[in-house]
């Protein structure tokens, strides 16, 4: 694609430069020359946009959940860049509920990993049939980004007249907006980490079970909530792309094509780790 784009631009630019060099004397007006220059500029801008799009798609496609790191460091500038990307995420009425604690010191990471393991063990004892993976790799991450949210930001503010949420005591709508916005900020952070050559693992397993203890370790006051944890570091190996549903399976144009609604079995198959395509 990139080579093809180059070729197209080269041909067009050659054409127009040829026109300037050879046909120029035949142009009687200055306007025609301006037109040629503008056209060339336009093509160049289009080419630059295409390259940017290409690079963006490359980053989006190559982002992988990374569950293993080699030793590396994140500088202050890199940390700021990650949070800079996160803060530009969209969110309901721009209320920006997110905050981040970035943990890089080995002993502080150890405290977090300890809480994680303790909660995991308790959970495992209480639910022997349900396995939670150990997260030994967290200690090797260059940084653990603890993603927090301030629930006092209320997306209802100013929207009372336009939303159809029937019950002001119903927390679910607020929760919905809260988590969607913070999720968008995490994705921005992950994509930026990918573009910087890092990998990231978005972790939520039993986050509610460990919230109080994790907040105590981090010194997070009420009413701030712990929403997720993101481990960032240089990937220790290549993480293969898991199954991704095809565009044609999830894109409906103009109306939902009910004929393509997945069967329950297909949904279950596609949701499983190591899933394969349904028919």
Ligand X SMILES: Cc1cc2nc3c(=O)[nH]c(=O)nc-3n(C[C@H](O)[C@H](O)[C@H](O)COP(=O)(O)O)c2cc1C
Q: What residues between 230 and 269 interact with ligand X by CB under 6 A? A: 242
- Distance of alpha carbon 97 from alpha carbon 224, whole angstroms: 9
Among 204, 212, 216, 260, interactor with ligand X by CB under 6 A: 204
Positive or negative torsion for Cα 113, 115, 118, 122:
negative
In whole angstroms, the minimum distance from the beta carbon of 59 to ligand X comes to 13
Instruction: Give the nearer residue to ligand X in terms of CB position, either 36 or 115.
Output: 115
CB 217 within 8 A of CB 115: yes
d(CA 121, CA 111): 15
Q: How many residues bind ligand X, per CB under 6 A?
A: 9
Compare residues 36 and 135 and give the one whose CB is closer to ligand X.
135
Q: Is residue 203 close enough to count as binding ligand X by CB under 6 A?
A: yes
Give the DSSP H/E element, type plus range, for residue 231: strand 225-235
Residue in this structure with the two tokens 């080419």, named with its chain if needed: 47
Which residue, among 251, 206, 199, 268, has the nearest Cα to 230 in the 3D structure? 199
Q: Name the one range near ligand X by CB under 6 A: 14-22, 30-38, 82-90, 195-203.
A: 195-203
Q: In this chain, which of 20, 140, 202, 262 binds ligand X, going by CB under 6 A? A: 202
36 or 112, CB closer to ligand X?
112
- Using the 8-state DSSP alphabet, how is residue 92 labeled? G
Beta carbon of residue 204, minimum distance to ligand X (angstroms, whole number): 4
Q: How far is the CB of 201 from ligand X (least distance, A)?
A: 6
Structure tokens at 155: 């997306």
Compare residues 64 and 104 and give the one whose CB is closer to ligand X.
Answer: 64
User: Which one, 36 or 67, has the nearer CB to ligand X?
Assistant: 67
Binding string, residues 43-72; x marks residues near ligand X by CB under 6 A: ---------------------xx-x-----
Of the pair 4, 271, the CB lying nearest ligand X is at: 271
Closest to 88 (Cα-Cα) out of 77, 96, 80: 96
Report the alpha-carbon distance of residue 279 to residue 277 in Å, rounded: 6
| Nearest alpha carbon to residue 239 among 5, 51, 67, 8 | 67
Residues forming contacts to ligand X in the complex (CB under 6 A) are: 64-65, 67, 201-205, 242
């Amino acid at each position: 694609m990139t080579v093809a784009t180059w070729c197209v631009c080269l041909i067009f630019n050659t054409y127009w430069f040829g026109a300037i060099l050879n046909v120029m004397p035949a142009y009687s007006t200055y306007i025609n020359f301006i037109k040629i220059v503008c056209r060339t500029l336009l093509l160049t801008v289009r080419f630059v946009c295409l390259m940017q799009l290409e690079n963006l798609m490359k980053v989006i496609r190559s982002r992988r959940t990374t569950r293993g790191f080699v030793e590396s460091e994140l500088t202050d500038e890199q940390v700021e860049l990650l949070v800079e990307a996160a803060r530009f995420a969209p969110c309901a009425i721009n209320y920006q509920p997110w905050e981040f604690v970035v943990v890089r010191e080995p002993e502080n990471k150890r405290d977090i990993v300890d809480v994680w393991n303790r909660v995991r063990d308790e959970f495992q004892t209480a639910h022997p049939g349900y396995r939670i993976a150990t997260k030994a790799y967290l200690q090797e991450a260059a940084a653990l980004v603890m993603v927090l949210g301030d629930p006092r930001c209320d997306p209802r503010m100013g929207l009372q007249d336009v939303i159809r949420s029937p019950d002001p005591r119903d927390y679910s709508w607020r929760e919905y907006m809260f988590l969607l916005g913070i999720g968008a900020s995490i994705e921005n952070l992950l994509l930026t980490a990918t573009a910087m050559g890092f990998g990231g693992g978005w972790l939520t397993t039993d986050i509610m079970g460990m919230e109080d203890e994790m907040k105590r370790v981090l010194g997070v006051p009420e009413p701030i909530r712990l929403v997720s944890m993101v481990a960032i570091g240089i990937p220790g190996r290549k993480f293969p792309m898991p199954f991704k549903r095809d565009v044609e399976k999830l894109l409906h144009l103009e109306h939902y094509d009910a004929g393509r609604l997945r069967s329950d079995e297909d949904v279950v198959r596609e949701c499983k780790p190591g899933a394969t395509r349904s028919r």
